[in-house]
Chain A
């Protein structure tokens, strides 16, 4: 058993590293060149989509989020040097877009929950699933299918948003505590506590459905 590995191609992390988007390429994107856009999008989309999928737990939402990130963020890219900064910029943009969506969505969703949803859930009273419902089968259903990895991913999609984002920045993007702290604009200690709670919640989320 070993602790966390450094990112490498074998993990499927950063395996899509290619040439840096040149200033000329970025300028073409800003001018509206679809070929330039697609060239950069093809490099960045896989990791953005994966992150979006873990965040949303839903392929359709993930595609929409990843595409919106690319469409909105790439034309604003200028003066960035190095792929690391480009990817960080896109991850940050994706996170902001997601949080904006979540903010409006969760408000309406939770209010709907309180104000009366039709169906069996209402009669049963609110449950974890109804309160934080995401499309698709529940964790329990996923476990019944014997797909633990899928259960983990669905459990993650039910984590409290702040912790979910922090956990994914660490586990998927493999950012350091310091990088996460910079991106989320919180102290490193907060990153640490959020990660601890996220992992604890994740374990409980899976266990409780497994009983």
Chain B
């Protein structure tokens, strides 16, 4: 143990009353003859006194505390906290919204007067049903006519239109399957029944009536398509194109993520270390710039305090690492939570499923935590330390989990 460390320990023992009578007397005698030591002890005592000095409660503290207590115990708040009424209301609202969306085309037609007026023969064919049901049947019938089949198949790709179909069939539409050439393509059993009945009815109708009915149905389908358009998912070709694009981007993933990671490593934090005008995204390797001297000076000042300069995702705070746990070239990569907790304060929550921690140890040789990312090659990260100084306690740097090897070079 160095003399300095020994004296610091004795100061601490003295301040904290952990000396026996003999030791205290000897230390006080030493204090009398050592002005510097005496000043040091007085300084720490003054600091302690400053911390122990009373702090007056802010005006109204107790009233506010009481109010918070009462609020915390309020039965109404407890109910709200459970959230049942809120969710119930939200459920009702969502249901109403869904119904509104599903019936919007029909409502629009009704309001705009575009609903097909049932003919007398239709009325007789659907005797006993309400006018609304009549319109629905008519809509369902026209949806499943052979001429609309291809459009319906395309419509199956669109969620909005699929929803529309579900409304009429009262059950989800199955995926479009190849249909016999001589039969329409109903999407469910119920529509199929109605389709067959409707076809029979249509055969009985005159060509004029049928044309008029289909015209009305086509108009409704157009309206429905307009409604559904904003919610339409990309059609198959579009999906293929998107998938193709995704595959293309995936093929560049390694390159891109590497660039992105390096970019993120150096963004902001080491802005003043970059070469002016360097394209950040095109050049993943950070070189030390003309401003390095300034950064060194600043870093030295920081590191003299032992504070950490992180380089990757996050710094963990200055960690009380065991002395000599790591030196340049022998950094330690922690990849499990238990090890981390054993070495450092576990209150620094690290997600070890996505990140690791690089421990940079103190001293021997002087090693601080200020560095730049020299390069990232695959899973190997190289840091170059700046301004090695009297780093006190080492530090920890949170790195992306892809980093499997870390090399630290001294400048």
Contacts and interface: CB of A to CB of B under 8 A. Distances in A.
A4 B24 CA distance: 11
Contact of B268 (A34, A72, A115, A193): A115
Contact of B267 (A38, A72, A115): A115
Interface in A49-64: 49-50, 53-54, 59, 62-63
B193 interface: no
B84 interface: no
B69 A70 contact: yes
Nearest to B16: A4
Contact of B44 (A113, A132, A199): A199
Interface in B259-279: 267-269, 271-272
Contact of B61 (A12, A45, A149): A45
A201 B46 CA distance: 15
In the A-B complex, the 10 residue pairs with the closest CB atoms: A149-B50, A32-B73, A152-B50, A50-B55, A12-B54, A4-B17, A67-B65, A171-B48, A116-B268, A162-B345
A49 B62 contact: no
A34 B46 CA distance: 40
A125 B44 contact: no
A92 interface: no
Secondary structure type dominating chain A contacts: helix
A42 B66 CA distance: 10
A27 to B, nearest CB: 14
A208 B303 CA distance: 12
A103 to B, nearest CB: 6
Given A3-B17, A177-B16, A197 B68 contact: no
A205 B301 CA distance: 11
A3 B64 contact: no
Nearest to A100: B347
Interface residues of B, number: 68
Interface in B238-265: none
Interface in B278-314: 295, 298, 301-302, 304-307, 309-310, 313-314
B31 A1 contact: yes
B181 interface: no
B349 A107 contact: yes
A199 to B, nearest CB: 6
Nearest to B24: A3
Interface of B: 8-9, 12, 14-19, 24, 28, 31, 38, 40-55, 57-58, 61-62, 64-66, 68-70, 72-73, 267-269, 271-272, 295, 298, 301-302, 304-307, 309-310, 313-315, 317-318, 320, 345, 347-349, 392-393
A53 B317 CA distance: 21
B72 A71 contact: yes
A122 B267 CA distance: 11
Contact of B349 (A72, A103, A113): A103
A22 B385 CA distance: 59
Contact of A116 (B65, B267, B347): B267
A6 to B, nearest CB: 8
Given A3-B19, A126-B269, A45 B62 contact: yes
A1 B41 contact: yes
A3 B393 CA distance: 28
Max chain A Cβ within 10 angstroms of own Cβ: one of B16, B41, B392: B16
B307 A131 contact: yes
Contacts, number: 189
Contact of B52 (A11, A59, A70, A74): A11
B43 A203 contact: yes
A62 to B, nearest CB: 8
A196 B348 CA distance: 21
B43 A114 contact: no
Given A71-B69, A116-B267, A125-B271, A111 B52 contact: no
Contacts of B73: 32, 34, 75
A161 interface: yes
A59 B58 contact: yes
A165 B102 CA distance: 60
A110 interface: yes
A63 B61 contact: yes
Contacts of A193: 320
A34 B66 contact: yes
Contacts of B14: 3
Given A63-B61, A161-B345, A171-B48, 8 more contacts: A13-B52, A67-B64, A113-B269, A117-B268, A125-B271, A150-B50, A199-B44, A204-B304
A200 interface: yes
A161 B319 CA distance: 10
A205 B69 CA distance: 39
Contacts of B45: 1
A172 B52 contact: yes
